[in-house]
Homo-oligomer: A and B are copies of this chain.
Amino acid sequence: MNLKQLSEILGLSQTTVSRALNGYPEVNAETRERVEAAARKHNYSPNRRATSLATGRSMTIGHVIPASTQHEMVNPIFGDFVAGAAGVYGEEGYDMLFSHVTDGDEERAYTDLKRKGTVDGVIVQGPKVNDARIEVLTRLGLPFVVHGRSSGAGQDYSWVDVNNRRSFKRATEFLLDLGHRRIALINGLEDMDFAQRRRAGYLEALAERGVTPDPTLMRSAEMTEVYGHHETRDMLALSDPPTAILAASMISAIGVRRAIEEAGLTIGKDVSVITHDDELSYLRNGQDVPIFTATRSSVHQAGRVLAEMLLRRIEDPTAVPEQILLEAELVVGRSTGPAPTGD
């Protein structure tokens, strides 16, 4: 059942039927009702491809996934983020499209997306320091918003980010207040912008208290469980091991905990742990009392906020970019305690 058939059944022109269904004013109320009834009856809904060819809008939002390492997608954070965004898209009638870039040439991927008209806008995930995508997208004039920021990217662009610097600074201060001096940082990949900011916050807190940072206590890699475990085990074996650890995600924190327990130590007593908690649905930080003391910020919520922002930009691409900086809470759980007295 397409528009032509429907209009023939009704004895009307395609024009009128189309207008009736799209809520244009210049159609008789009675006619409109007839049309709507017929559409319902015959289960008609317009062909998306034809509509978008005619209007120039595709009603879909793109998420580009770099293939080489499919970091984004397999990262458990991805699901919650995307689910948040998907909720908004659904409400507004948008679909969500994932494009898989074969190799590093994201520039080409975006150019294609723009030219092929597959999407109306894109969300940029996992921005790196000085991320080239931002320049490409502004040049192409394809509406976009960034989840996070990219230091060094000159342009004025729209983003939503957590105040990573401040939250990790606060977490570090919290540990310093508890008397810890040997505080380790198990960070995410440091070419990621957020990881840089977290490290900056951590260093800032140490500096203000006159604690000299120890490079052997600063680790950085992808935020997996195995990595958290590996680095922790490694550091606990040092002659002067850390008494506190800052982890970048629940997943790596779980590895941290495993290593601590394997070493026969008690978390929150022998070694304190603070993690960043994205409030993943499947990995809640405990039900009543938090398992980990944590800097908390919902990535699901971030997905929603970003999606809404993007749809606004699509509506009015010339508007000045918006920026939202979310503050993370510091919630106290059972994984932190006073520094053990060296005796």
Contact = CB atoms under 8 A, between A and B. Distances in A.
Interface stretch (A10-18, A65-73, A179-187, A313-321): A65-73
Contacts of A73: 79-80, 82-83, 86
A87 B65 CA distance: 10
A106 interface: no
A92 B254 CA distance: 38
Contacts of A99: 95-96
A120 B242 CA distance: 55
Interface string A86-103: 110111000111111110
Instruction: Determine which residue in A78, A79, A112 has the highest number of CB atoms from chain B within 10 A of its CB, and name it.
Output: A79
A96 to B, nearest CB: 4
A9 interface: no
B100 A284 contact: no
A261 B80 CA distance: 28
Contacts of A1: 115
Contacts of A86: 65, 67, 70, 73, 98, 100
B95 A95 contact: no
A115 B78 CA distance: 30
Interface string A45-62: 111111011000010100
Given A53-B53, A97-B97, A116 B224 contact: no
Given A97-B97, A98-B98, A116-B46, A282 B251 contact: yes
A303 to B, nearest CB: 10
A249 B70 CA distance: 22
A287 interface: yes
Contact of A287 (B76, B80, B96, B226): B226
A95 B97 contact: yes
Give the interface size class of chain A.
Answer: 35 or more
Contact of A284 (B65, B78, B225): B225
A111 B40 CA distance: 13
B118 A48 contact: yes
A118 B48 CA distance: 6
B52 A49 contact: yes
What are the 8 closest A-B residue pairs judged by CB atoms, nearest first?
A: A90-B100, A48-B116, A74-B281, A73-B83, A76-B76, A70-B83, A96-B98, A49-B53
23 contacts: A43-B115, A45-B112, A45-B116, A46-B116, A49-B117, A60-B97, A67-B90, A70-B87, A74-B80, A76-B282, A76-B283, A79-B79, A86-B100, A87-B100, A89-B100, A91-B102, A95-B99, A95-B100, A96-B97, A98-B98, A222-B282, A223-B282, A258-B291
Interface of A: 1, 43-50, 52-53, 58, 60, 65, 67, 70, 73-76, 78-80, 82-83, 86-87, 89-91, 95-102, 111-112, 115-118, 222-226, 229-230, 251, 254, 258, 261, 280-284, 286-287, 291, 300
